[in-house]
Amino acid sequence: MLDSVQPPLRNFWYLALAGRELPRGKTRATTLLGDPVLLCRGADGGVFALRDICPHRGIPLSHGKFDGREVECCYHGWRFGADGHCTAIPSLTPDQDLAVERIRCGAYPCREVQGNIWVYMAEKAARLPQSSLEGLPPVPELPGFGDAAPQVAIAQVFDCDADTAAFGLMDPTHAAFVHTSWWWKKNARKLRQKEKHFEPAPLGWRMKRHALPPQNRVYHLLGKGVTTEISYALPGLRIELIEGDRHRAAGLTAITPLGDSRTMVHQALYWTLPWAAPLRPLARYLANVFLTQDRRVVDMQQQGLAHNPSLMLIDDADTQAKWFYRLKREWLRAAEEGRPFENPVKPCTLRWRS
Ligand code: FES
Ligand SMILES: [Fe+2]
């Protein structure tokens, strides 16, 4: 039987936006875990994130103006800097000594890494953190790609909770039924038995590196002996690293809860093939086709879930979904008990037909 949906985990970095979606001197309003967040890119190119509510009278700061340095509220012109402190209140007369700098809208730790903007969502009860990055865990990074931005970055909003969206990432048996196209797996329903080896990985697990089937031509672009390794980590990350003897490619999928029943699924593709830039539009198109297929099936699923049915997770097809729940539970319990997280996943082999 499936557990009921759990709230999204706090104290994690969440992918908020692809960096190239936020030009210099611009802002972008979003919600992360239900919090209104204003993403800003200063005139200097740096990014920061403010709580998108004016502490004066509550209007979202996103209705105001941004001069590339400070955000000005549209209602009475209070101004806020990158660290979330108020810098000016226009109505004050020279003899009124209100401590302007002690007023804060709040700022979230925010970093741009490998072309993606990440925001750290701390515990709700805790005071909003300063934008300082001290003591925070590192932002998830793809090894072997330096600080390169993704070749392709797409995102779609799924009308479901984050767990439901995350399951799609770790569900190895839906592809034959959902991801069918004339150009991909024509005979998708000819199922073959699969056997994959798994091991624990930091805050998750990993499908051990294995060879990709040589009949899949597109992988030949990376050279000979192409292998892949797929890892999954809390709070909802999937990282696939594909390597040949000449080049490598990677896919990052990040699940970002916007609210209780709205989830952004981000997908970023990286590759080291220097001549493959013209393939970007095609890769973007295909990535969107895949993600749309996942989104549509979730939409249909919501029609059933509205009736609150009891659900099942079966072995071994859904074993990874079970791990995901167990990891979440263990992570929360460890935090509650003030002890280190103990990864409950043990090395094992899973079998299914897909
Ligand atoms: S509500 Fe923002 S300045 Fe008054
Ligand atoms: Fe899928």
* Residue 126 placed within a domain: no
One domain for residues 90 and 178: no
pLDDT at 182: 64
CATH number for 26: 2.102.10.10
* Residue 133 placed within a domain: no
> Which of 51, 73, 92 has most ligand 1 atoms within 8 Å of its beta carbon, as the pocket-test mutant?
73
Which structural domain range is residue 50 located in?
A: 12-121
pLDDT at 135: 85
- Which residues is 254 bridged to in the sheet? 237, 266
One domain for residues 157 and 196: yes
Residues with CB under 6 A from ligand 1: 54, 56-57, 59, 73, 75-76, 78
pLDDT at 130: 63
One domain for residues 305 and 182: yes
Q: How remote is the CA of residue 60 from the centroid of ligand 2, in Å?
A: 35
Helix (H, G, I), strand (E, B) or coil at 256: strand
One domain for residues 156 and 115: no
pLDDT at 65: 98
pLDDT at 215: 77
Closest ligand to C-alpha of residue 296 is 2
Residues 149-187, buried b or exposed e (16+ Cβ, 10 A)? bbbbbbbbebebbbbbbbbbbbbbbebbebeeeeeeeee
Which residue is closest in CA terms to ligand 1's atom 1?
57
Tell me how many domains the chain contains.
2
Q: Is 288 exposed, middle or buried (0-12, 13-18, 19+ CB in 10 A)?
A: middle
Could you say which of 71, 106, 121 is where a domain stops? 121
With a cut of 50, which residues of the chain have pLDDT below it?
1-2
Closest ligand to C-alpha of residue 54 is 1
pLDDT at 323: 97
pLDDT at 253: 98
Ligand 1 atom with the smallest distance to the CA of 57 is 1
> Which of 52, 59, 80, 105 has most ligand 1 atoms within 8 Å of its beta carbon, as the pocket-test mutant?
59
| Residue 41 C-alpha from the chain's centroid | 19
pLDDT at 5: 62
Task: Report how far apart the first and last C-alpha atoms of the chain are (Å, whole number).
Answer: 23
Give pLDDT tens digits for 34-75: 999 999 999 999 999 999 999 999 999 999 999 999 999 999
* Residue 146 placed within a domain: no
Q: Is 143 exposed, middle or buried (0-12, 13-18, 19+ CB in 10 A)?
A: exposed
Closest ligand to C-alpha of residue 267 is 2
One domain for residues 328 and 261: yes
**Is the pTM of the predicted complex or chain greater than 0.85?**
yes
Report whether 266 contacts 253 (CB < 8 A).
yes
Report the alpha-carbon distance of residue 330 to residue 321 in Å, rounded.
Answer: 14
Six-digit token string for 316: 């071994």
Ligand 1 atom with the smallest distance to the CA of 54 is 2
pLDDT at 219: 86
Which residue is closest in CA terms to ligand 1's atom 4?
76
* Residue 102 placed within a domain: yes
Q: How remote is the CA of residue 180 from the centroid of ligand 2, in Å?
A: 10
Closest ligand to C-alpha of residue 156 is 2
Report whether 227 contacts 243 (CB < 8 A).
yes
* Residue 129 placed within a domain: no
One domain for residues 179 and 80: no
Q: How remote is the CA of residue 305 from the centroid of ligand 1, in Å?
A: 41
